[in-house]
Structure 1
Amino acid sequence: MQIDLIKGHGSGNDFLIIDEISNEYSFSENERAELARLLCNRNSELGADGILFVMDSEHADGRMRVFNSDGSEASMCGNGLRLVARYICEQQRLNEAVIETMKANLKVSKQKDLIPDIHTYQVEISPILFELNALPLNLNKPTLYNERIEELSSELRFTALAVPNPHLIAIVDTAQLESDIQKQLSEKVNGPNELFPDGVNVSFVKQLQKGSIYVRTFERGVGFTNACGTAMSASSLVTCLQGLNEFEKVTNVYNNGGMVQCVVHKYEGKYTIDLIGNATYLYKAAVNVNLEEGSFTQSVRTDFSEQQTYEQLQTAASQFIEPTLKG
């Protein structure tokens, strides 16, 4: 079968966008997983963190389904949602839209460019749940807020929440960030284990200065990524809860892929988060896929020029991160 796609990224978190609204594709659930494993393979011509399937919705402007590179389906993806927001808004000539995701219908909107000529979108991150059974996390308590998990570390303190993807967040210092502990414990909780039967995204967060944080995430089903949108959102919320940053104010979130902005809202004991960042297209391509043989060939590819502009943001972010992390 021939499949047309766009490759793009949010904060360096890269995805293949497949449009099921304009094209008459009909994928089975197994085929979606197989496509993700095949096309996202980093040793192939494409390679990506996952596939974003853009679909019709009965009660929203569009629907997003996210399949990780290992073939598993994610309930949400903040960086991917920005790409889908752009795609839907441009296709339907909208500045605001509502996108159906696995757990909720989420508001998205086009925003002023982070820097000139970087397509920038704001997406809603919700629902946000602290109950451990929402992740799930098997501990004999209802929630985990800034506490130790002895099976993982005797020194780190963790906060667990679902946004709605499951996240385990630790505020760390530079020495902990530079150690191997994140890799070790992330591989533990994403392999066979009793704590997180479905795995979990693990983020280490370093406060850079008031209103600015650095986040590095080991993403469930992927591994270390340049950025994870829901992780950056969850990390912003945790820093606000600990008084490091402020509710209703912009937090600049730096990552290995660049920078985004988050605004955490609190109303009547509940939280929502606005995630604001780039939605950059790299190229569009046509591929001929043979799932029976587990192979594909790329027949057409047209590059966009947007990455050159995005690299200016990456450079500025790196120049800020490197000296500040050591401070």
Structure 2
Amino acid sequence: MNIDLIKCHGSGNDFLLIDEMDGRLSFSEEERAKLALSLCNRESELGADGILFVLDSEESDARMRVFNADGSEASMCGNGLRCVARYVCEKLNKDEAVIETMKAHLQVKKQPELFPEIPTYMVEISPVSFQLKDLPLELEQDTLMNQPIHGLSDLAFTALSVPNPHIVSIVECDDIQSDSQKKISEYVNGPNPYFPDGVNVSFVKSLTKGAIYVRTFERGVGFTNACGTAMSASSLVTCLHGLNVKEQTIEVYNNGGKVRCVVHETENGYWIELIGNATYVYRATIQLPDLSEGSFTVSSKDEFEEENAQYAKLGEEAQAFIRQYM
């Protein structure tokens, strides 16, 4: 079997995008998991944080399914959704679309460039819930708002789903540079009494008014250059702490570059605009002799050099800004 794919990234969070909209390709659930384990392996010729499967949708312009590098399926991925937004909008010759995800149908829209010559898209991050049962987080309370989790850490966390589960802590530089995030994250994503399904863990440092730095340990992946839903959740939490303001742009810096977030509050709750790059790295065709085994060879690979070069410049600018405050 031959599979055409695009290596892409949002804020350095990289994916392999596979189009199933034309019906030529179709995978079972077991095959999707095995493909993710095989193709995303960093020791292989490809390697990625996950696979974005783009399918037809009965109610929206397209449907996105996300499989992490460990073979698990994610309910949502903000950085991946931007890549899918670009792919679907360009495929359908539109500037905006609606993408079906596991738990919601989300608006996506082409935006003015975040940086010269970098395709930029806004994606809707919702629904948002602070109910612990929606993560789930097993504590004898309904919500966790800027509180320590007894027996886990002295750091204060806010728990929320967007809709995948996150815990967010506002910290100082010493906490980010320590190994405490690694210890906490590995514990809550292994056998533990709090999070039966694991959780994304973010440490957030306020840089200036309207600018934050976010470092995330992503469930099913580990430390990533960036996690879109984590940056969105972190932006919301900083607004709740009074560090930033709803309805105003927040510049969110990460190890992969930066995005912009805008937190909105309506009578139905919160939702977040996540605005950032959707960069293509290369097109490739792979050959899989047997899907069940997962072994593959890359038969062709064509680079998108100009976009990669421009994103590198954005990354350099972002890192220079972070160094002023970290």
Smaller-chain TM-score range? over 0.9
What amino acid is aligned across from residue 315 of structure 1 in structure 2? E
**Residues of 2 paired with 1:128 and 1:286: CA distance?**
38
Structure 2 equivalent of residue 52 of structure 1: 52
| CA shift digits 1:249-294 (9 cap, x unpaired) | 0000000000000000012261010000000000000001133433
**Residues of 2 paired with 1:138 and 1:150: CA distance?**
12
**Residues of 2 paired with 1:311 and 1:148: CA distance?**
38
Number of residue pairs the alignment of both structures matches: 324
Whether the aligned pair in 1 keeps the contact of 2:127 and 2:163 (CA below 8 Å) is yes
State yes or no: 1:265 paired with 2:261: no
Cα RMSD for the two superposed structures: 0.8
Shift in Å at residue 115 of structure 1?
1.2
Structure 1 equivalent of residue 113 of structure 2: 113
Structure 2 equivalent of residue 320 of structure 1: 321
SS of the equivalent of 2:296 reads strand
Structure 2 equivalent of residue 288 of structure 1: 287
Shift in Å at residue 153 of structure 1?
0.9
Shift in Å at residue 324 of structure 1?
1.0
Structure 2 equivalent of residue 307 of structure 1: 308
**Residues of 1 paired with 2:22 and 2:303: CA distance?**
21
Q: Are the structure 2 counterparts of residues 269 and 56 from structure 1 closer, same or farther at C-alpha, using a change threshold of 3 Å?
A: closer
What amino acid is aligned across from residue 295 of structure 2 in structure 1? S
Alignment of 1:242-261 (within 5 A): 242-261=241-260
Structure 2 equivalent of residue 69 of structure 1: 69
Alignment of 1:61-140 (within 5 A): 61-140=61-140
What amino acid is aligned across from residue 111 of structure 1 in structure 2? Q
**Residues of 1 paired with 2:202 and 2:91: CA distance?**
34
What amino acid is aligned across from residue 21 of structure 1 in structure 2? M
Q: Which runs of 4+ in 1 moved over 6 A?
A: none
Shift in Å at residue 87 of structure 1?
0.2
Shift in Å at residue 194 of structure 1?
1.0
State yes or no: 1:274 paired with 2:273: yes
Shift in Å at residue 23 of structure 1?
5.0
Q: Are the structure 2 counterparts of residues 267 and 293 from structure 1 closer, same or farther at C-alpha, using a change threshold of 3 Å?
A: closer
State yes or no: 1:220 paired with 2:219: yes
Whether the aligned pair in 1 keeps the contact of 2:34 and 2:292 (CA below 8 Å) is no
Structure 2 equivalent of residue 15 of structure 1: 15
Identity of aligned residues (%): 65
**Residues of 1 paired with 2:59 and 2:265: CA distance?**
27
Shift in Å at residue 116 of structure 1?
1.2
| CA shift digits 1:172-200 (9 cap, x unpaired) | 00111111000000000000011000000
What amino acid is aligned across from residue 178 of structure 1 in structure 2? Q
Shift in Å at residue 86 of structure 1?
0.1
* TM-score, normalization by structure 1: 0.98
**Residues of 2 paired with 1:278 and 1:121: CA distance?**
6
Shift in Å at residue 221 of structure 1?
0.2
SS of the equivalent of 2:319 reads helix
State yes or no: 1:198 paired with 2:197: yes
Name which of structure 1's ranges 4-13 and 143-152 shifts more when overlaid on structure 2.
143-152
Shift in Å at residue 22 of structure 1?
2.9
**Residues of 2 paired with 1:141 and 1:95: CA distance?**
44
**Residues of 1 paired with 2:249 and 2:291: CA distance?**
45
| CA shift digits 1:28-61 (9 cap, x unpaired) | 0000000000000000000000000000000000
| CA shift digits 1:236-256 (9 cap, x unpaired) | 000000100000000000000
| CA shift digits 1:188-247 (9 cap, x unpaired) | 000001100000000000000000000000000000000000000000000000100000
Whether the aligned pair in 1 keeps the contact of 2:37 and 2:69 (CA below 8 Å) is yes
| CA shift digits 1:77-96 (9 cap, x unpaired) | 00000000000000000001
Alignment gaps of 5+ in structure 2? none
Alignment of 1:227-246 (within 5 A): 227-246=226-245
What amino acid is aligned across from residue 175 of structure 2 in structure 1? Q
Structure 2 equivalent of residue 31 of structure 1: 31
**Residues of 2 paired with 1:29 and 1:144: CA distance?**
34
**Residues of 2 paired with 1:264 and 1:292: CA distance?**
43
Shift in Å at residue 313 of structure 1?
0.5
Structure 2 equivalent of residue 158 of structure 1: 157
Alignment gaps of 5+ in structure 1? none
* TM-score, normalization by structure 2: 0.98
SS of the equivalent of 1:141 reads coil
Name which of structure 1's ranges 51-60 and 23-32 shifts more when overlaid on structure 2.
23-32
